[in-house]
Chains A and B, each alone.
Chain A
Amino acid sequence: MTICQFFLQGRCRFGDRCWNEHPRGGGGRPHSGPVRGAGGGWGAASQRYANVIQPPIFKHSTWGGSGDGGGFSGASDFGSPGNKSAVFSQNRFSALSSAHPADGFSDEEQRLLDCVAKDMATWESSGQWMFSCYSPEAGKPNVSGFREFSAEEVRLEYYNCSANNNTENYINSVNQLVQEWRNRLQELKALNASGKESLLSQLKNAVTQPLPSLGFGGQQASSFGFPSFPVSSSSSAASFSFKANPSVPPGNAAAVGSSAAASNPPTFGVTSSPSVPNPVGSGNSSAPSAASFSFKTSGTTSGCGTSGLSGFGSSAAANSSSTAPLPVSATPSAATGTSQSGASSASAAQTAGASGHNVTSAPSAVPNGIASDKLYTPRSELTAEELEQFEAKRFTLGKIPLKPPPIDLLYL
């Protein structure tokens, strides 16, 4: 077929109905053009085409100079682009898709990332309250790394501090928190590629588990990070666990999973250094430990949070050691870590003793109880390939398992 000249100029009025050929390769990335003698002509054509997308600056000179007729005549030259355009519908806007970033984010993801960047800029410039959680869109879970305090909590801190003449402590802590916030905000404003990946996986993974994300924001919540606070036994001390910076510093932005949950479950032991080596691993371990919590009544969650904080000091070592080997196993596929880390963090919590008791009994009970039902297949029944499919981020077409997934891989 003959190439439609108007299409190349971007003004074919027939569009898909056009009897002539609308070569798609012309608008594709330059390297996707046929590698041939006509390559030069193609290169010029694609450039021209790209020009057309903007309000047309149509230069006759370039058109003429590229050896027009030679480039476009002869259907045989266009065998492959012809095929290409047969495969893809004749799409005038293919040049636009070439504007698609090479890092391969879909439109939706790009939108979210842009939204995050814009919101960060607004947040910074607007003077609004800093200690707030954030999510780029209404239904999405919270982005990690932002600590949430209400104005009243901060104010109460101040009042308690000034009652003990400790205002410097307060000021320092607040400054520290502000610094953390600022760092995290800058990070999100200018995300690099890995940051984007982790952010997107955070938002996506946890989309399927909105409830747990609500449930777990809170582990770290009450810890305000006032180092020398235990001295003041006044009311707030019990609720505000003033240990040294319990939450993962926002530098660990890549922590996956629901908002603050990402930081705390692996770092129950407040005293341990919070930075978990492999962000992916830590993120995954947080999700399943979140999952393990979801089985029990959240009564014990609050128990964990408030009461036995000192008890967790002992579990810190256990926990962090349990999370350490995880990243190794987690690297093959993102979700692999889930069930294993769930079990190990459960066991780690068990060693802690304090409120770990309730925590572990539930998750251990549940898999036994439910796993044998028809709703879920126990792991033993799955082939290796099926297991791999379940554990992968996405199903590969043609390999989607027919059996239901094992319960321990689910976020409930």
Chain B
Amino acid sequence: MREKQLRTRRPQSAVPTPAAGAPAPPPPLCSRRLRREARPAPCAALRRAVSREVSSAVRTRMSLFGSTSGFGTGGTSMFGSTTADNHNPMKDIEVTSPPDDSISCLAFSPPTLPGNFLIAGSWANDVRCWEVQDNGQTIPKAQQMHTGPVLDGCWSDDGSKVFTASCDKTAKMWDLNSNQAIQIAQHDAPVKTIHWIKAPNYSCVMTGSWDKTLKFWDTRSPTPMMTLQLPERCYCADVVHPMAAVATAERGLIVYQLENQPSEFRRIESPLKHQHRCVAIFKDKVNKPTGFALGSIEGRVAIHYINPPNPAKDNFTFKCHRSNGTNTSAPQDIYAVNGIAFHPVHGTLATVGSDGRFSFWDKDARTKLKTSEQLDQPISACCFNHNGNIFAYASSYDWSKGHEFYNPQKKNYIFLRNAAEELKPRNKK
């Protein structure tokens, strides 16, 4: 597998860039540059983008949830822009009433639900749900509690239920209509990942846990439909029917196929040298899952195809979330890749890292599309909404530097960004 230094498209002088790289030719479309320079306020952009969706039913959706268990202030006031600190250098929309502790996962509602709803699980043992409106306003809707930090969350395919996985070794199903949550899964160790599987002949919840098992639950029964053994603790997983990819400790990597019933498809030798941290499956042009991106703690992402025509050439890794571009003399600071998400329409990907930046990449053109400014906290989670217009990322401490750098008083944020334009793939030259 080759190591690629992705070409960075080097942008405008206004943005100080860490990546030296080779000087890239100016972007071919001057319209893009214009758009960048005259960038409107995020609110307006988001409004324009989001307004393309069918949103008339949004107001009526307020009755979707039962009584909102308030967060306290609730309210839609944006915090006054504090220019001194760097918590939002990209000037993205802040979600109101963010969780009180680090955010571990973000997920947007599926397309079956009109409008956009965002859930976030946090280390404060809660999972919160907001409605994201077309104008960019976020309205806190409801929250549920676990007895331990929430590590992962996902939506059911019809958007009526939210599944949450927690360190209290259970997973819960949260019915949003009734605002009730019931336990649906039990493990012997904290549950790290949870995904909803919707197959033609069955549907279930897949939970991966640090007890080295992968369990599949029919939500109505207290015993799992199936249990699969993992070689090691499950660290991250992703499901795009009919494929599931699970990355475990000790660089374990297994792909499952989910037709008929889940079974192990292949164990893959890790293309990375260090601990796996996050994985995301991508699809090909005909919307079939064809491979996955795997991120490690060492600032590197591997793109791996399951059945490539030419494995040596098609699979590659690239470095990201490092401090000094290509300057090899000074030792680089290397940061973990905390999350990877693929744009549902364009197929380009976003990575977020412990360095407090997010980057957009085009894996087919093998280039970097954009890197953000550095936030003052690591970015711990990210996701796209179902049509790819909104990119949400959470700024909160991910424990990458140990307990000394943990400040419980520090505010955690979730930002929303208009992703319609920036993630367009680069045209191959």
Contact = CB atoms under 8 A, between A and B. Distances in A.
Interface string A183-222: 0000000000000000000000000001101111110011
Interface string B386-407: 0000000000001111110010
Contacts of B402: 154, 174
> Chain B at the A interface: mostly helix, strand, loop or mixed?
loop
B77 to A, nearest CB: 31
B231 A150 contact: no
Nearest to B188: A306
A142 B272 CA distance: 11
A274 to B, nearest CB: 19
> Chain A at the B interface: mostly helix, strand, loop or mixed?
helix
B189 A134 contact: no
Nearest to A129: B297
B257 interface: no
Nearest to B338: A151
Given A119-B273, A135-B273, A238 B331 contact: no
A127 interface: yes
For B149, B249, B250, B298, which residue has the most chain A Cβ atoms within 10 angstroms?
A: B250
Contacts of A174: 402-403
A87 interface: no
A221 B189 contact: no
A138 B270 contact: yes
Contacts of A156: 148-149, 167, 190
A301 B232 CA distance: 10
A236 B402 CA distance: 19
Given A126-B333, A128-B299, A154 B399 contact: yes
Contacts of B269: 138-139, 210
Contacts of B169: 235
Interface string B240-257: 000000001111100000
B104 interface: yes
Contacts of A148: 249-250, 275
B424 interface: no
B205 to A, nearest CB: 20
Interface in B288-339: 296-299, 322, 331-336
Contacts of B104: 152
B210 interface: yes
A302 B213 contact: yes
Contact of A211 (B192, B232, B267, B275): B267
Nearest to B269: A139
A218 B298 contact: no
Contacts of A214: 231-232, 248, 250-252, 267
Given A119-B273, A122-B331, A214-B267, A305 B212 contact: yes
A301 B233 CA distance: 12
A228 interface: no
Nearest to B167: A156
Nearest to A153: B210
A65 interface: no
Interface in B207-258: 210-213, 227, 229, 231-233, 235, 248-252
Count class of interface residues, chain B: 35 or more
A222 B210 contact: yes
Nearest to B336: A129
A132 interface: yes
Interface in A134-158: 134-139, 142, 148, 150-156, 158
A238 B169 CA distance: 11
A239 interface: yes
A139 B315 CA distance: 13
Contacts of A136: 273
A135 B253 CA distance: 14
Interface residues of A, number: 55
Contacts of A302: 211-213, 229
Contacts of B168: 235
A307 B8 CA distance: 50
Contact of B148 (A129, A142, A235, A238): A235
Nearest to B331: A125
A298 interface: yes
Given A133-B250, A155-B399, A298-B231, A150 B275 contact: yes
B251 A135 contact: yes
A260 B336 CA distance: 22
A138 B272 contact: yes
A188 to B, nearest CB: 13
A138 B210 contact: no
Nearest to A259: B250
Interface string B142-161: 00000011010000000000
B331 A126 contact: yes
Contact of B403 (A119, A171, A239): A171
A128 B249 contact: no
A152 B229 contact: no
A239 B210 contact: yes
A221 B334 CA distance: 24
A97 interface: no
A167 B274 CA distance: 28
Contacts of B331: 122, 125-126
Contacts of A221: 232-233, 249-250
A239 B189 CA distance: 6
Contacts of B211: 239, 302, 306
Contacts of B232: 214, 217-218, 221
A155 B123 contact: yes
Contacts of A171: 403
Nearest to B102: A155
16 contacts: A119-B273, A135-B270, A137-B273, A148-B275, A151-B399, A155-B123, A155-B399, A156-B167, A158-B406, A211-B267, A214-B252, A218-B232, A235-B148, A236-B167, A236-B189, A239-B211
A-B complex: 7 closest residue pairs judged by Cβ atoms:
A217-B250, A239-B189, A132-B275, A125-B331, A126-B334, A218-B232, A298-B229
Given A215-B231, A235-B169, 17 more contacts: A125-B331, A125-B332, A127-B401, A132-B296, A133-B251, A133-B275, A134-B273, A138-B269, A150-B249, A152-B104, A153-B233, A210-B267, A211-B267, A218-B233, A221-B233, A239-B210, A297-B229
Interface of A: 119, 122-123, 125-129, 131-139, 142, 148, 150-156, 158-159, 167, 170-171, 174, 210-211, 213-218, 221-222, 235-236, 238-239, 259-260, 297-299, 301-302, 305-306
